[in-house]
Amino acid sequence: MAGESSKDGAVGAGAGAPPRLVEAFGRMDGSLKQVSVVCPVYNTDPDMIRAAARSVLDQQGASVLELLLVNDQSSSPPTLDVLKALEAEDTRVRVLHNDRNLGPAGTRNAGIRAARGNLIGFLDADDMWRPDSLAARLSAPATEADMVVGSFEDLLPGDVVNTPFPLPLDNGEALGDGWFAWPAPAATHGLINQWRHLGCILAPKAAIKEVGGFDEKLRYGEDWMLIVRLSTLCRVIASNRVLYTLRRQHSSMMTSRARLTRAFSRAEETALVHPALRPYRKQLRWALIRQYKGMAANNLANGMRWQGVQFAVRAWLRDPREIRPLMQFVRAARIANPEHRMREVRKYSTAVVATDLD
């Protein structure tokens, strides 16, 4: 299966959507708000899948139209058993099976194509929606082609809860109950710089189709890329209210050593040359530099000095003003004492530095 593609035209980022999109979406009010939630599954622990699914199905104050659990060629019998059981327990659950392994982007695209709702929400099979997440999103004063964006929390080992930096919504129009109409281009600038998990958004299916869905050439960052693209097409209705729980208590892509390879920067590299994102190249260039510096820091923290220096050089090549930070990084790479070296690395990059990658 492959994601649906669409003609990539110049799409305005004004207060409302282009007329053809408004006509396609209809007005999102009352009974027209039908939400399909797409969740890719690949050999996930069955207890986690069940907890994730129940978090969507047991929402307080509102109900989803359907939860699509898209099996990306899982081979684990317990995973397949829990998918079958969830489908039998609740008529809103639909289990889809990919003919071949498509990865996260292709699997989500398959779910979006099959979705019956006009609004799409997302769930990772090891995460959870907050109990009032759906009601909060549907209560947002969103109409026509708007994308609703909230915030998330990190659930860390030891049940430690962390929340990300808030979105800079001060320049938006206050709509009440913590929601803001976030104008263009500020919304796109903000979403380039402040990553939001897919589980925090609610977007019209037609808008996702209009931008071509997830980029299936990307193994990482395809979620960030989609949200940024949607922000250039849709009006953004945003809040810093926590709607989603991201569980980092176990081994996952969040702790994969693949984060140390260049594949982890492909999304920023792709965005920088994307025709629809041409007006945002300055912000995207800085996003790519930050990503390179973060990867340099994480490689060094995990004992891969040469790879770290390579990424630091990539950051410098994007901006010659990075020569002083580059020299600072090279000096840090030569420090033998691990604690002293890490202190210097954190001066070089503000990225989260993880030394426990799988």
Q: Beta-carbon neighbour count of residue 227 at 10 Å?
A: 22
pLDDT in tens, 1-16: 433 333 333 333 333 4
Q: Which amino acid is at 20?
A: R
Handedness of CA 77, 51, 114, 219 (dihedral sign): negative
> What pLDDT does 350 receive?
77
Q: Concatenated DSSP letters for 210-224?
A: HTTSS-TT-SSSHHH
The structural domains of the chain, ordered by start, are 19-254 (3.90.550.10), 259-348 (no CATH)
Average pLDDT over residues 98-112: 97
pLDDT in tens, 179-219: 999 998 999 999 999 999 999 999 999 999 999 999 999 99
> What pLDDT does 252 receive?
47
CB within 8 Å of 53: residues ≥ 6 apart: 39, 67, 69, 86, 93
Task: Please tell me the distance from the alpha carbon of residue 16 to that of residue 336, in angstroms, as a whole number.
Answer: 56
> What pLDDT does 32 receive?
76
First-to-last alpha carbon distance for the chain, in angstroms, is 30
Q: Concatenated DSSP letters for 67-85?
A: EEEEE-S---HHHHHHHHH
Task: Please tell me the distance from the alpha carbon of residue 13 to that of residue 166, in angstroms, as a whole number.
Answer: 22
With 70 as the cut, is the pLDDT of residue 238 above it?
yes
4 neighbors 33 (Cβ within 8 angstroms): no
191 neighbors 149 (Cβ within 8 angstroms): yes
Give the single-character DSSP code of 43: S
> What pLDDT does 156 receive?
78
pTM of the shown model = 0.87
Task: Please tell me the distance from the alpha carbon of residue 57 to that of residue 242, in angstroms, as a whole number.
Answer: 18
- Coil/strand/helix, residue 154: strand
Backbone angles phi and psi of 174, in degrees to 5: -65, 125
CB within 8 Å of 321: residues ≥ 6 apart: none
Sequence-distant contacts of 156-160: CB under 8 A, at least 24 apart = 156/248, 156/249, 157/248, 157/249
Give the position of tokens 């960052």.
Answer: 221
Task: Please tell me the distance from the alpha carbon of residue 261 to that of residue 270, in angstroms, as a whole number.
Answer: 16
pLDDT in tens, 42-77: 999 999 999 999 999 999 999 999 999 999 999 999
Backbone angles phi and psi of 173, in degrees to 5: -90, 120
